[in-house]
Structure formats: C-alpha cells, structure tokens
C-alpha cells in the first residue's frame, strides 16, 4: 500500500512565523479562561434561533430560495442514503486518487442541511424522522476526515481520531442542527450525536492543546486556511453544545490565541499567497469565527481589532485586474472571483466604504452555517458601512495596486473598456502557501479573458501533489508557468528561491517592474537573470517582458508563453493568441543572430488543457535576452 506523506510541515506549516506554542494550553492560560468564562451565557448557543422562534424563521423563509430548499428536502426525504463504501474511502491510500472517496462522503453529508432548514421553515415535523436517521448514519462514519488526510489510516481503523477541515465543519453543522431543532430531536439521538462529537472532535482537540503534538495540533500552529477553517468549526461547535461554561471558555481562549496565526499567514500588505479561491475559503471561516466569538462574549473578544484586518479584507478588491477578473496564482482556478458575502460582512464591520457591497445579496444563499450567520441577526446587520454621499457613486479602480510585501503588482488601464488589457505581475518566493514554482509569473487579461500567463489549477488534487513529488507535476513546477528555463534548470522550491525587486518606475502612462530572478534558480552556471516588465496603458494597453541573462559559460536559455487560448504563428516572429472574444498579437525578439525555435507542448494535469510555447535560443551563449511583446489586436 502506498503511503502519501502530507508535506504540510514543509509546504504550509512552517512558512510564516507562528505565535509561540502555549502548551499545555489550559495550564498556561488559566487566568484568560477564567475571564472568558465570565463573558459567556449560562447556556450554549449557535447562530440564530431554534425553530420555536417563528417570527425569525418566517423572515428566513422570505429571504432564502424557499422553493429550491423544499424541493431538495423532498428529494432527500424520498430517497435512501447513498451507502458508505470502504473501497471508495481507501482509493486514495491505494492509488492517490481523491475524488471517489470525497464524492461518496459529500453525497451522504449533503443531505442533512436541506432537511433541517426545510423542517425549521415548514415546522410540521414530517422531516424529523429522516433527520434523525441521517444523523445516526453520518456519525457512524468510520472516519470524519477526508481520506487524503487519513495518511496512515489510523482514523479509518479506529486507532486514533483526528480533526481536519471537513471534520471541523461537520461538527459545526451537527451543533447547528441540534440548536435549530431543539426538542424536535429525541434525547437518545441528541446524546448519541454529542457523545460522538466528544470522541471525534472535542477530545482530540483537548489532547492536542495539552501535548502540542500530533496531526490535529498542526492546524493550531498553521498560518494558512486550515487554521481559520478548523478553529471556526470546532469552536462554534463547542460554544453551541457544551453545557459547562468553563469548558466552553477553554475552546474560546484557544481560538482567540491561535487565530493570530491565521492573520500572520497574510503578508503585511494584506496579500494572500494561497490564491483567491483559498482566500474565499479561509477568510470566510475566519469571519465565522469572529462573529461567533463576538456574539458569545458580547463583544469582549473581537478578532477584527488587528490593524491588518482592513488590508486583508480589501484583498479581494485590490487583487482584481479588470472587469471582475483575477490572477489564478497558486492553487486557484481561472475565473475565480472574490466572495461578495465576505465583502458585505467586512464592508459593514470594518467600514470599507464599498458602495457595491452595502447590501447583502441573498438570492444565492443555500442552507449552511454561513447562511445561518448571515441571515440571522449579526454584527454586519447592526453596523453602518460608513458610505458617505460621495462614495455612493462607484469609483473606478486606481491604475495600479502594488502589494510590495508580497512582490505582486496589478496594472490597470486608465480608461476601462471591454477591449482593455490589464496585467498582474508576480515576484515572491517558492515557499508560499499552496506554492507553485512561479516566481516571475504573470497574468494577462483582455476584457475579462485570460489570454496569457499563469494557467491556474489544479482543479482537483492528485495524491502525489502533496508529497515530495509535488514539483514533478509540470503545471505546478516552473515548467508550466510563463518563466524561463535557465541552462536546462527549472526554479527551485523553498523560501531561499525568491525574487528581489530590482526596480520600479510607475507613471500615469506606464509601469516598469524589474525583478532579479538570479536566486530563483539553483544553476551553478548562472551569474544573473533579470526579468523586466513594462506595462503601457496607452490605448488598449500592451505588455513587454524582457528576460536578460548572463551565464558563466555558454549555455542554453528558454523563455515561455503559457495560454489556454488558441494560437498560431503569423510569420515574421509574431504569434496570435485568440480567445472567445479577444485577440492578442505577440512579437518576439532575441539577442541571438541565430534566432530561436518555438517548442510547443500541451499540458493537462487535473485541470483544463493549456499550451506551453517554449521560446528556445538556437545557440548556447553567455549573455543575451529574449523579449516578448503583447498588444491587443
């Protein structure tokens, strides 16, 4: 049986300085736990109200897509639970394939929420038997965590229980179910669920906080999305079901302390190195945790007090290139956009002054713990968005946004149109969260189409993507990104493989951004490699990329264009990239009198197929350059 060792310790956990471990947590934080105990109500509580508050549930019925929820609940009511399948769960441990086991788990777990919300809105009792049988089925799973996170199958075989992202979210959903339905759930079923939560979640978390060891403690000491997601789920579950106030306070104190790691995971300019998709996922759960702690402690604990929080909240605004289009850096899909729910919540709680996010659009809300937080009374509903008269008219984005700590530059046209070009230019290092070896990468947008640059992905993970084989995947290594191959050497993986910002020259008409990429390659023959970007916002816009290199001895050099668009050679050292609506002409110049050769290759690895167009110099030389010039047709 293959063993897939998760590289969180290498790829995620140790990337950013964490807060000091406080182990054993209870012994080191007794005074704070006592203080928090005094803040809490005598009884546990979740978001919103139980079904008994008919006034509030009638409001929900009028806000959510009631018809869609009832149709899905009826479907679940009249069908049998898909079976648990050991073989599907074990598919990952055998072959490193994630989808089969995850689909099996999701097919079972997705049945609970529509039943619960339908019963609370309708209040006739007809969904209750199905809810109780569903609860019993779900808590009986041999594992509450994903197969990909059960590395040695200790959870599957009952040797040890651990808590991961999905287990944390699951216990939160279980608690909201018991909280919403209150006495509709029979006492035997309620107790079975609570007992299971202690065994599968609360006790493993307590043990992790006592010893500072093991898989579960990893996400306490982690600075990527795991920290916020797991803390939000487990803490929300604890404050929503545990009777003992001091025991609840223990979980709250741990969340208050270790959630600092979540904030540390963002650069000081608010940039999220994980990519936009994981920002939506991680920061959404940070918001859930913030709201939960604020409500339970009556405002005594507010995770939004950090000065850095506004910068993080504005990431989704500042990271946009043009026309609602974003770079697909790190593990992200092309086409991903910022969650409007995050921006609405932050707009009101942090006074961002974003007129477009003054009102909550609840048309697409579906039964979930996030929906419960948003639709029932919360701090965002009770707080002004601080939009003054002048700000109510939507202003255009500034022509650039420079995340100087992260080394990422967003360049926008002066006059926005459906044919304008905008770009994102990336520095950074190769030890970022959900890292791709992509230092020096870029994303080129025309209108709202990504015509060249970072291809994004993967759309789902292969098991080996989280092992020491991660960078054997072309789409994750620098080979599958629009950066150079220097004397047959790809970029190295690690924090030491970083770009140095060699120069910037920003004006109203053009932005010049120069990166020294010499350290990014572990190439003994390399003396220097400088990549210069020049974005010109005149007309519909253009982008020049110049790679200038110097080797100790004559060697090979190859740059690359990456595109998901159709492309063709036009002759005369030009290419044409054609999207669905827009076209970009590409001119190539080199220092070599012998010219270059295009080396095309199609790449498809757990995502859409894209083309890598290698631009390889036809001779080995010591110094030279390759220039690639993009202009909208």
Q: Summarize pLDDT for 445-480 with one digit per residue, the tens.
A: 999 999 999 999 999 999 899 999 999 999 999 999
Q: Per-residue pLDDT tens for 329-368?
A: 999 999 999 999 999 999 999 999 999 999 998 877 999 9
Task: Give the pLDDT band of residue 572 (cuts 50, 70, 90).
Answer: confident
Exposure on the CB side of residue 478, measured as CA atoms within 13 A: 26
What is the chain's mean pLDDT, rounded? 94
Tokens encoding 124: 């006739």
Q: What is the pLDDT of residue 96?
A: 92
Alpha carbon distance 437, 441 (integer Å): 9
How is residue 479 annotated by DSSP?
G
Region label for 386, one of left (φ > 0), alpha (ψ between -120 and 50) or beta (otherwise): left
| 59 to 53, 66, 122, 377, 383: CA distances (angstroms) | 10, 11, 12, 11, 20
- Crossing angle for the helix pair 99-109 and 86-95, to the nearest 10 degrees: 150
Residue 530 has pLDDT above 50, yes or no: yes
Residue 1 has pLDDT above 50, yes or no: no
| Extended strands (E) in 180-278 | none
Alpha carbon distance 206, 547 (integer Å): 53
Task: Give the pLDDT band of residue 417 (cuts 50, 70, 90).
Answer: confident
Q: What is the pLDDT of residue 396?
A: 73
Residue 22 has pLDDT above 60, yes or no: yes
Residue 551 contacts residue 487 (beta carbons within 8 Å)? yes
Q: What is the pLDDT of residue 67?
A: 95
Q: What is the pLDDT of residue 571?
A: 79
Give me the phi and psi of 286, to 5 degrees please.
-60, -40
Q: What is the pLDDT of residue 418?
A: 87
The CA R_g of the chain, rounded to the nearest whole Å, is: 26
- Sequence-distant (≥ 6) Cβ neighbours of residue 80 within 8 angstroms: none
* Cβ-count burial 375-391 (b if 16+ within 10 Å, e if not): bbebbbeeeebebeeee
Closest CA to 148 of 227, 92, 103, 91: 92
Q: Per-residue pLDDT tens for 178-223?
A: 999 999 999 999 999 999 999 999 999 999 999 999 999 999 999 9
Q: What is the pLDDT of residue 395?
A: 55
Residue 392 has pLDDT above 70, yes or no: no
Alpha carbon distance 410, 277 (integer Å): 18
What separation, in Å, do the N-terminal and C-terminal C-alpha atoms of the chain show?
Answer: 54
Q: Map residue 499 onto helix, strand or coil.
A: coil
Residue 415 has pLDDT above 70, yes or no: yes
Q: Check the CA dihedral 523-524-526-530 and report its sign.
A: positive
Q: Per-residue pLDDT tens for 507-528?
A: 999 999 999 999 999 999 999 9
Q: What is the pLDDT of residue 16?
A: 58
152-156, 170-174, 308-312, 567-571: which has the minimum mean pLDDT?
567-571
Closest CA to 114 of 58, 63, 173: 173
Q: Map residue 316 onto helix, strand or coil.
A: helix
């Amino acid at each position: 049986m293959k063993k897939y060792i998760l590289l969180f310790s290498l790829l995620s956990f140790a990337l950013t300085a964490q807060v000091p471990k406080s182990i054993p947590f209870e012994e080191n934080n007794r005074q704070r736990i006592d203080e928090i105990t005094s803040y809490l109500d005598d009884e546990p509580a979740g978001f919103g109200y139980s079904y008994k508050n008919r006034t509030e549930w009638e409001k929900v019925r009028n806000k959510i897509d009631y018809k869609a929820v009832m149709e899905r609940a009826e479907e679940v009511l009249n069908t049998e639970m898909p079976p648990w399948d050991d073989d599907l769960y074990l598919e990952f441990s055998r072959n490193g394939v994630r989808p089969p086991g995850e689909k099996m788990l999701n097919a079972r777990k997705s049945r609970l929420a529509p039943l619960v919300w339908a019963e609370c809105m309708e209040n006739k009792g007809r969904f209750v038997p199905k809810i109780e049988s569903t609860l019993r089925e779900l808590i009986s799973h041999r594992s509450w965590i994903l197969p990909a996170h059960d590395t040695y199958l200790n959870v599957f075989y009952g040797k040890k229980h651990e808590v991961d992202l999905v287990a944390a979210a699951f216990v939160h959903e279980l608690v909201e179910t018991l909280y919403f339905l209150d006495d509709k759930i029979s006492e035997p079923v309620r107790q079975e669920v609570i007992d299971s939560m202690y065994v599968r979640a609360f006790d493993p978390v307590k043990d992790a906080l006592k010893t500072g060891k093991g898989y579960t403690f990893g996400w306490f000491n982690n600075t990527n999305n795991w920290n916020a997601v797991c803390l939000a789920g487990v803490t929300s579950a604890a404050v929503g079901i545990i009777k003992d106030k001091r025991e609840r306070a223990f979980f709250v104190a741990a969340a208050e302390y270790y959630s600092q790691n979540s904030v540390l995971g963002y650069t000081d300019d608010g940039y999220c190195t994980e990519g936009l998709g994981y920002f939506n996922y991680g920061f959404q759960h940070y918001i859930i945790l913030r709201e939960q702690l604020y409500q339970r402690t009556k405002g005594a604990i507010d995770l939004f007090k950090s000065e850095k929080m506004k910068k993080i909240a504005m990431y989704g605004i500042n990271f946009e290139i043009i026309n609602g289009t974003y770079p697909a850096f790190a593990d992200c899909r092309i086409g991903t956009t910022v969650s409007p729910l995050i921006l609405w919540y932050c707009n009101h709680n942090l006074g961002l002054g974003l007129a477009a996010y003054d009102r909550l659009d609840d048309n697409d809300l579906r039964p979930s713990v996030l929906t419960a937080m948003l639709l029932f009374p919360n701090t965002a509903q009770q707080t002004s968005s601080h939009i003054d008269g002048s700000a109510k008219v939507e202003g255009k984005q500034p022509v650039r946004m420079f995340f100087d700590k992260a080394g990422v530059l967003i360049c926008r046209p002066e006059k926005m149109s459906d044919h304008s070009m905008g770009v994102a230019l990336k520095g950074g290092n190769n030890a970022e969260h959900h890292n791709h070896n992509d230092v020096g990468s870029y994303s080129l947008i025309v209108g709202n189409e990504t015509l060249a640059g970072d291809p994004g992905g993967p759309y789902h993970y292969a098991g080996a993507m989280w092992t020491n084989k991660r960078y054997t995947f072309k789409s994750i290594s620098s080979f599958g990104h629009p950066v150079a191959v220097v004397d047959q050497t790809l970029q190295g993986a690690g924090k030491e493989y970083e770009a140095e910002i060699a120069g910037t020259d920003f004006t109203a008409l053009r932005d010049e951004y120069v990166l020294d990429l010499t350290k990014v390659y572990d190439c003994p023959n390399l003396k220097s490699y400088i990549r210069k970007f020049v974005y010109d916002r005149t007309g519909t816009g253009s982008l020049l990329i110049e790679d200038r290199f110097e080797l100790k001895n004559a060697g090979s050099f190859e740059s690359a264009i990456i595109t998901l668009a159709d492309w063709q050679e036009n002759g005369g050292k030009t290419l044409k990239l054609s999207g669905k609506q827009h076209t970009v002409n590409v001119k190539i110049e080199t220092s070599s009198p012998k010219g270059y050769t295009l080396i095309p290759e199609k790449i498809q690895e757990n995502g859409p197929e894209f083309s890598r167009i290698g631009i390889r110099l036809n001779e080995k030389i010591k110094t030279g350059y390759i220039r690639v010039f993009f202009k909208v047709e």
